[in-house]
Amino acid sequence: MKSILVAGFEPFNGQSVNPASEVLPLLANTSLTNAVVHCQTLPVIGAAAHEKLMTYIEQYQADIVLVLGQAAGRDKLTLERVAINVDDYPIKDNAGEQPLDQPIVRHGPAAYFTTLPIKSMTHAMNNANVPSAISNTAGTFVCNHIFYRTLHSLATELTTRKVVMGFMHLPLLPEQAQAQQFAMPLSEQLAGVQASLTAALAPTESVAMVTGSQC
């Protein structure tokens, strides 16, 4: 039986909701073959989020870890390919901090790639009629921080067992979106995340998808 941990960020920047945490109570009822899904909310504070996530990974003995975050302006569920070693916050986090041009891990690698089968997961979401894509930037806010720092911890500290980890950005919910902003209903976002987890458990060996960009 596989153990899946899905963590989503709380609301931030003065907002009252975040799709990343709103989807968790619904996702907790998901039934997957040969897997159990655990859900937890994370604070929008880099160090605190990382500490909590690593505690949950150990608590649930997670085999698969997917962290969810909000990305206003995106019109698809986007799995992130790479996390980079920099904090350069465009806004303050929920502790009122705003680091600029700071390494997440001093002397750490410049970047880490996700260890999730993101092409299989994206293919599965699109097959479920949920608009999805692979993103090549997780930004430089708390989402990227937790993505990078957790992959670093898994690579350098938790080496006794295999844990695969990645990050997915979610669009705004209809109640959040302002004029001309894209929004996606919570039920559709839930269906996408569920499809992605099913694919993560049994990834397709070869998914031919063009996911790069020219610039």
Which of these is catalytic: 38, 143, 145, 152? Answer: 143
Which of these is catalytic: 22, 39, 50, 80? Answer: 80
Alpha carbon 195 to chain centroid distance?
Answer: 14
Catalytic residue flag (residue 143): yes
Q: How far is CA 175 from CA 18, 179, 185, in A?
A: 10, 11, 9
Question: Alpha helix locations (H) across the chain?
Answer: 19-22, 24-27, 46-59, 118-127, 142-156, 186-201
DSSP state of 10: P
Q: How far is CA 185 from CA 13, 114, 175, in A?
A: 21, 27, 9
Residue 9 contacts residue 18 (beta carbons within 8 Å): yes
Catalogue the active-site residues.
Answer: 80, 143, 169
